[in-house]
Amino acid sequence: MKPEGGKPGTVVAVVTEPRFTQQYRVYLEKQQLLDRQHRVVKMPDGTVALPVLGETLLDQHLQELRSRVAPGSTCMLTQLLHPVPSKAAQSCSPAQRLCLEVSRWVEGRGVTWSAELEADLPRCWQRHGNLLLLSEDCFQAKQWKNLEPELWETVASALGVQRLARRGRISADGTRTPAVTLLLGDHGWVEHVDNGIRYKFDVTQCMFSFGNITEKLRVASLSCAGEVVVDLYAGIGYFTLPFLVHAGAAFVHACEWNPHAVVALRTNLEINGVADRCQIHFGDNRKLKLSNIADRVNLGLIPSSEEGWLVACQVLRQDAGGILHIHQNVESFPGKNLQPSGSSGMEEDQWPYPQQIITNQGKNRTTSDSGGKMLAGATKPEWRKWAESAETRIAALLQQVHGKPWKTQILHIHPVKSYAPHVDHIVLDLRCRPCPLVG
């Protein structure tokens, strides 16, 4: 599953011997499982791989292929890392095919096809197996209403899927619930495979950001053996799972307050075989009872995770401290005075003795040469200003929570994606250590 956009991606295929290819093709076409957008491929060992709509394919289909359709055949699943588009797909882009088939169908219904309707067709979408997620700005013209629900069957057929959904704006309800409407199909559950990790979720209830892949890969590459991680905004397991599956974390405490995301998270922990190394804390993470436990804390919420900074400081180990991964959307408008975006909503008395704390923190802060070079050459000035401001706030909170000064060090500022014009989603890696007692 990947965003639609013309670039080839991983495709699921059924592999069998050449002599069984035709029986397999007939069966898969009849079951509407054959992926017509990609060519059948001959494998290096002489077998043949038939591209299929992977999410729709069930174990019962594979069993039927082996036992009834072609008895004695070898039937296995594989992933084609470099699938070749079929001749039909090469000759006509998905958007062109959609326009052609929808216009013909509309005119067959006695409706005049117009430039307005053509301009209202989608130009991009996300594909999740046999479900296509359309953008919110398509099919807005009034004429479409009179053509539903048959319209959606035509759109799905043109794009080679069985289910359709359309997204709206993410709800400002604190749980980042996507406003997604299911247009065709009886459920919104899909599966996405990312860096070898399986994510199942309901697209109508949970969001999935393809743009965060660089950060998920970076988390997966971290060395977290023996560490306890607290993921304060776990969602369906975007970062919880890479910490467990690839980074080797000993245990993860995953906090989430969206009940639909918790259902998906629990499922994903099970199907990835790491449920025994994770505890889910359902509810508001600001009320989390954990403390003095974490070697590492992930704060993966945008536009700002600042409301979780206090509890992040609370859960860090008091003896050795740890690392905070702080996500933030940072504006890059020249001349703008940058502060953490949530700071305007905080009361002044929540940051005790700000001038004193800033002074003490400035004396205690250490920055490695490599870190300094990275900050000077690889980041925008606005990112550095925000990171330094966030570091100051975190130092204040650490002293407030633990009653003694801590050293803080900016290790890395990592760009994740461009969120909007002049707005960048970045991650600050901040090392936090308690100062040694003197005397």
Q: What is the pLDDT of residues 379-430, one digit of tens each?
A: 789 999 999 999 999 999 999 999 999 999 999 999 998 877 889 999 999 9
Phi, psi of 51 (to 5 degrees): -60, 135
Residues 77-122: tens digit of each pLDDT: 998 887 787 877 667 788 988 998 898 788 888 889 999 999 999 9
Q: Are 371 and 391 in contact (CB under 8 A)?
A: no
Total domains present in the chain:
3
Q: Give residues with Cβ within 8 angstroms of 344, minimum separation 6.
A: none
Residue 121 contacts residue 99 (beta carbons within 8 Å): yes
C-alpha 226/C-alpha 211 separation (Å) is 29
Q: Are residues 406 and 291 in the same domain?
A: yes
Domain end position, chosen among 186, 219, 252? 186
Q: Which pLDDT does position 174 carry in this prediction?
A: 53
What's the pLDDT at 93?
A: 83
**Domain boundaries, position 260:** 209-332+379-434
Which amino acid, residue 245? V
Looking at the fold, whether 288 and 411 belong to one and the same domain comes out as: yes
Residue 240 backbone zone (phi > 0: left; psi -120 to 50: alpha; other: beta): alpha
Last residue of a domain, one of 89, 124, 148: 89
Q: How far apart are CA 203 and CA 184, in angstroms?
A: 13
Q: Do 273 and 405 have their domain in common?
A: yes
81 plus 97 within the same structural domain: no
Judgement on whether residues 21 and 59 belong to the same structural domain of the protein? yes
For residue 102, with 0-12 CB atoms within 10 Å meaning exposed, 13-18 middle and 19 or more buried, which class applies?
buried
Task: Report the distance separating Cα 228 and Cα 220, nearest Å.
Answer: 15
| 8-state DSSP, 242 | H
In a domain, 71, yes or no: yes
Alpha helices in 136-186 (DSSP H): 150-159
Q: Model confidence over 311-362: pLDDT tens digits?
A: 999 999 999 999 999 999 999 865 554 444 433 332 222 222 222 222 233 3
Residues 290 and 414 in one domain: yes
In 10 A of CB 254, how many CB atoms?
A: 29
Q: Is residue 160 domain-shared with residue 29, that is, in the same domain?
A: no
| 182 in the same domain as 128 | yes
Beta bridge partners of 126: 3, 133
CA–CA dist 161, 154 (Å, integer): 10
Do residues 101 and 127 share a domain?
yes
* Co-location of 97 and 85 in the same domain: no
Cβ proximity of 409 and 366 under 8 Å: yes
